[in-house]
Amino acid sequence: MGLSRAGEWKVQWANQWEPSRSKQDAYQCYVSHFPSTNAVNIDIAEVNNNPEKYPIPNHTLLVGGFPCQDYSVASTGAKGIQGKKGVLWWEIEKLLRRKRPPFVLLENVDRLLKSPSKQRGRDFGVMLACFRDLGYNVEWRVINAADYGFPQRRRRIFIFAYHNSTNHYSNISKERDIDNYIVNEGFFNKEFPIEEVVLSDNCILDDELIDISNNFSYQFFECGILLNKTIRTYKITPKSVPAKTLSEILEKDVDERFYLSDDLDKWEYMKGAKAEPRKSSTGHEYMYREGALAFPDPIDMPSRTMLTSESSKNRSTHVVRDSQTNRLRVLTPIECERLNGFDDNWTDTGMSEKFRYFCMGNALVVGLIERMGRRLNIIFENEQERLSEIAMTSDKKIR
């Protein structure tokens, strides 16, 4: 959606599969809005294991989102290096080996930079090493949508990789002041400017992948670049602009079923501060503590991050005071779509109302990708000859 708003983008191929659901609502929503796309509704692992049965066309940009899991690797003898738990990342890595697209744009939750808790930064280090070994350079940025005018405080890490065969890499590799480039001219920071660099650091990523998995630990900041084998990372202050408020996306004349009934005590308990004794499954007693959340949510500022549990009676579910009735209610599906920048009723494609909330809890803020798409348009203009060659070449074998 974001790329389509940014210009004339043609999606060559798409994959969407929900392994735990018999009804593939997200896939149906996608194909209803993009019917001309060759969209596949099967496990991506099956696609990668059967390249002749499931051919993927050459493409200039690979985009995707994937779960934040454990990306540790293990040596498997003649089979080489294999991922243990970060299943979808390793399928993306296989696609990169198979097709070598010149550009990649990925998204994840921002805790990726600090996972796992017992070896901070290892998972992201493994990812960067995979890109390095495939000839890619990487820029990343954690972006809070509300810092740049959007009505939701939603933090996500975006990862932009470009192959060393591109003109883009050639131009960057000639930069004498990489710090100045990444802070002022980098892929993300041109569209999402930085006020100041608070702290910076660098290191060399030259170990083998298995050694990185076993031993690497590093404090990645929210902005950075991997150029060849050098990591530069920056703790920054964003140059923020006033954001839309929650009140600006609220509907009028909301249906009665969205209003809270007579269980306000339960809502107040869930939202309130807690300091109470509890007992674990093993019988261990401990004091459970939890801070209070605003109840109701203030509507004169951007909303909190929307989660997939938004449809349920849950501590994290938004509750607002309706400006027309002065009564408390939850957000509607349309309001959740608006928080992410989708058109009204984008998810009204036959799925249940509960899953409409779930989809928006998983979604990105569309306007962020639209800005990145505009930046990509400029980069691609400088790659026309190279990209034309890619479109004409045959499929590469998995190596």
Q: Is the peptide bond before 116 cis (omega within 30 degrees of 0)?
A: yes
What architecture is the 60-241+374-392 domain classified under in CATH?
3-Layer(aba) Sandwich (3.40)
Q: DSSP H helical segments within the chain, as ranges?
A: 2-6, 25-33, 44-49, 87-99, 122-133, 167-173, 178-180, 187-191, 209-215, 264-271, 333-339, 353-362, 366-381, 384-392
pLDDT tens for the chain, 399 residues: list them: 999 999 989 899 999 999 888 999 999 999 999 999 999 999 999 999 999 999 999 999 999 988 766 666 665 554 444 555 557 898 999 999 999 999 999 999 999 999 988 999 999 999 999 999 999 999 999 999 999 999 999 999 999 999 999 999 999 999 889 999 999 999 999 999 999 999 999 999 999 999 999 999 999 999 999 999 999 999 999 999 999 999 999 999 999 999 998 789 999 999 999 999 998 888 899 999 999 999 999 999 999 999 999 999 999 999 999 999 999 999 999 999 999 999 999 999 999 999 999 999 999 999 999 999 999 999 999 897 766 665 555 444 332
3-state secondary structure of 303: strand
| Residue ranges of the chain that CATH labels 3.40.50 | 60-241+374-392
Residue 203 is a catalytic residue: no
pTM: 0.92
| Residue ranges of the chain that CATH labels 3.90.120.10 | 246-362
Catalytic choice (68, 130, 336, 359): 68
**Residue 357: Cβ-neighbour burial (10 angstroms; 0-12, 13-18, 19+):** buried
Query: For the domain bounded by 246-362, which CATH number is listed?
Result: 3.90.120.10
What is the rounded CA–CA span in Å between residue 58 and residue 50? 16
